[in-house]
Structure 1
Amino acid sequence: MTFHRTSRVAFLVAIAVAATALSVTPSLAFSSEAQQMCTGDAMRLCGHEVPNVQRITACMARNRAHVSPGCRAVMEREHAARKRAAAAAE
């Protein structure tokens, strides 16, 4: 895999991981912590879905129980923060 393709794949995976962690549609708003902690899990569990961000997101949600403890912690923390923000906006 070329460097450019590897970078693109890592970027797409990071977007999907963050979308899953934040329980929102894929966007460019993701934490660097989620990218750092979850990219390896996303590649291991959902690399076969690249480059389809929606399918990576769905795959990560399905495999949430199989992610590393660090990734799971980030996903849970960011999901809780998103829920608090949504509740405060109501």
Structure 2
Amino acid sequence: MTASLARTLRQAGLILAVAASFASLSSTSSFAFSAEAQQMCTSDAFRLCSSEIPNIPKITACMMKHRADLSTGCRTVMDRDLAQKSSKVAAR
């Protein structure tokens, strides 16, 4: 296998792992991220938390720890999603 093909396959695998991580988070009752957050935050997850991929709880903790370092778009949608989740829990 050539080095470029191996690198491309590894990158594709990492992208799938991050997407699966956010998808799993959005399906849990304790955490919910929208498809928009998944789209806006994938590059931040790679940039800030690549060492945690594919461990979903560690990616989540890492993203929260690095909240100040998130891109504006990612931080905005994550904050909105977290606020919506908090209001749903409060309403119960």
RMSD of the alignment, in Å? 2.7
Paired residues in the alignment total 84
Give distance in 1, aligned partners of 2:87 and 2:16. Answer: 27
Taking structure 1 as the reference length, the TM-score comes to 0.74
Q: TM-score, length-normalised on structure 2?
A: 0.72
Fraction of identical pairs, as percent: 49
Larger radius of gyration: 2
Alpha-carbon shift at residue 15 of structure 1 (Å): 4.8
1:1-90 alignment, distance < 5 Å: 1-3=7-9, 5-17=10-22, 19=25, 24=30, 30-89=33-92
Structure 2 gaps, min length 5: 1-6
Unaligned runs of 5+ in 1: none
Output the CA distance in 2 between the equivalents of 1:75 and 1:35. Answer: 9
